[in-house]
Amino acid sequence: MTNWQELEKKYYMRTFDRVPVTLVKGQGARVWDDNGREYLDFFAGLAVTSLGHCHPVVVKALTEQASTLIQTSNLYYTIPQLQLAKLLVENSCFESIFYANSGTEANEGAVKLARRYGALHRNGAYEVITTLNSFHGRTLAMTAATGQPKFQKPYLPMPAGFVNVENNSIEAIKKATTNKTCAVILEPVQAEGGVNVPADDYLKKARAWCDEQNLLLILDEVQTGIGRTGALFGYQLYGVEPDVITLAKGMGGGVPIGAFMANQKAAVFVPGDHGSTFGGNPLACAVGYAVVKYIIDNDIPGNARQMGQYLMVKLNGLKGKYPHITDVRGRGLLVAIEFSKEIGARMLTACLERGLLVNKLKPNALRLIPPLIIGKAEVDEAVSIIDAALAAVSCEA
């Protein structure tokens, strides 16, 4: 049998620190490796396969569109992108959409939109305030937006126009605001940066400040959007309406698609201002439409909310047995479990050996981001594996 992991070492750039498993098949909340081993998937392709693997709705949309029309460019009208646009606009506080192919590209577009807004309505302001420990993607500009020096350092100098300030502090945003500022970008819950849930009134205060200063409030909902946090959009949890939102991960149920949406005030692009060859192609949009429609019609955000609460209650229930669980936090099915010791890597391995895929969020924390369609039985199974893994890892510690 081919040793795929050796092949990767030989032929793939040394970019990823991979979990030593080669996945070949998925169905629902399960995946299988090339040895036929089954795993319960609480990683979901990095919070992407929101309806689970190979959901019939995804497969149907993908295969039907694949045999009908795949790519046309945006120089022509196509139907799936407009069906998805109407669905997302009618179910949000925004009035229009632009499609990209990934999260980072959606964010790039949102920043370009904010710079146009600054040019037109704030005397040429171009600077964007973001937060420390945020994550906005891997292009050069989004590396500058991402408030994590470890991502920026290898690529200095960073593109100009981004200021990273303390998270969850409205005072920090106020202090960083100057006449050059055009927008503030926040994640409703910082996801990659640690599943950091802000104070309940943080987004409201940010909204008020942006209104007062004529800044755009942009929410990066690449991870939190499309049901993940227990609402269709994370902003709905906090009672605010942003001017711009960015989406990607869960939007296509596994097929690459991204987007940004804007309200009337922020939608300042005119023809020629922005573009994309692949963005909004019929294939991605047909799947995106099927996924988002299924999520809305079947109240999948409601399931994410209930299962997320159930998961967090059960994880909290392990605290008595394992006092080194220091925190369980999250919204919906974006959940972190944190430990007093740096046992994240060993916990990941111990879960893997017992048939559960999780994510090492930090040296001392795991992230659980299962498909949004999971039920109680899967949560029970995952928590009993985490329980056994904790028992094993605590013994060796």
Q: Which of residues 55-114 bind ligand PLP (CB under 6 A)?
A: 102-104, 107
The residue assigned the tokens 């693997």 is 53
Among the candidate windows 114-122, 130-138, 173-181, 228-236, which touches ligand PLP by CB under 6 A? 130-138
The residue count for binding ligand PLP (CB under 6 A) is: 15
* Maximum pairwise Cα distance, the chain: 64
Question: Which is closer to ligand PLP, CB of 109 or CB of 161?
Answer: 109
Task: In angstroms, give the least distance from the CB of 332 to ligand PLP.
Answer: 14
Query: Cα(390)–Cα(392) distance, rounded to whole angstroms?
Result: 5
Task: In angstroms, give the least distance from the CB of 323 to ligand PLP.
Answer: 31
Q: Contact between 259 and ligand PLP (CB under 6 A)?
A: no
Q: How large is the angle between the packed helices 376-396 and 344-353, nearest 10 degrees? A: 120
Task: In angstroms, give the least distance from the CB of 64 to ligand PLP.
Answer: 25
Task: In angstroms, give the least distance from the CB of 192 to ligand PLP.
Answer: 5
Strand extents, DSSP E, the chain: 23-27, 30-33, 38-41, 96-100, 127-131, 162-165, 181-186, 216-220, 244-247, 258-262, 325-331, 334-339, 356-357, 359-362, 365-368
CA dihedral sign of residues 89, 94, 97, 102? negative
> Binding ligand PLP by CB under 6 A: which of 222, 259, 328, 374?
222
Task: Tell me the three state secondary structure of residue 365.
Answer: strand
> Binding ligand PLP by CB under 6 A: which of 137, 282, 288, 330?
137
Q: Contact between 187 and ligand PLP (CB under 6 A)?
A: yes
Residues linked to residue 262 through DSSP beta bridges, in sequence order:
96, 244
Task: In angstroms, give the least distance from the CB of 249 to ligand PLP.
Answer: 6
Among the candidate windows 132-140, 167-175, 267-275, 328-336, which touches ligand PLP by CB under 6 A? 132-140
Pairing state between β 38-41 and 244-247: unpaired
Identify the CA nearest to 88 among candidates 275, 237, 295, 299: 295
> Binding ligand PLP by CB under 6 A: which of 248, 283, 287, 311?
248
Q: Contact between 288 and ligand PLP (CB under 6 A)?
A: no
Task: Tell me the three state secondary structure of residue 167.
Answer: coil
At 247, list the tokens: 């989406």
Identity of the residue numbered 339? F
Query: Cα(381)–Cα(295) distance, rounded to whole angstroms?
Result: 24
Cis peptide before 157 (omega within 30 of 0): yes
Question: Which is closer to ligand PLP, CB of 104 or CB of 263?
Answer: 104
Identity of the residue numbered 342? E
> Binding ligand PLP by CB under 6 A: which of 131, 164, 177, 223?
223
Task: In angstroms, give the least distance from the CB of 158 to ligand PLP.
Answer: 17
DSSP letter at 251 equals G
Task: In angstroms, give the least distance from the CB of 287 to ligand PLP.
Answer: 15
Task: In angstroms, give the least distance from the CB of 45 to ligand PLP.
Answer: 11
Q: Contact between 192 and ligand PLP (CB under 6 A)?
A: yes
Among the candidate windows 184-192, 208-216, 269-277, 386-394, which touches ligand PLP by CB under 6 A? 184-192
Question: Which is closer to ligand PLP, CB of 81 or CB of 224?
Answer: 224
Query: Cα(330)–Cα(42) distance, rounded to whole angstroms?
Result: 14
Task: Tell me the three state secondary structure of residue 177.
Answer: coil
Query: Cα(207)–Cα(204) distance, rounded to whole angstroms?
Result: 5
Q: Contact between 164 and ligand PLP (CB under 6 A)?
A: no
> Binding ligand PLP by CB under 6 A: which of 41, 108, 127, 220?
220
> Which residue is closest to ligand PLP by CB?
103
* Residues at the interface with ligand PLP (CB under 6 A): 102-104, 107, 135-137, 187, 191-192, 220, 222-223, 248-249
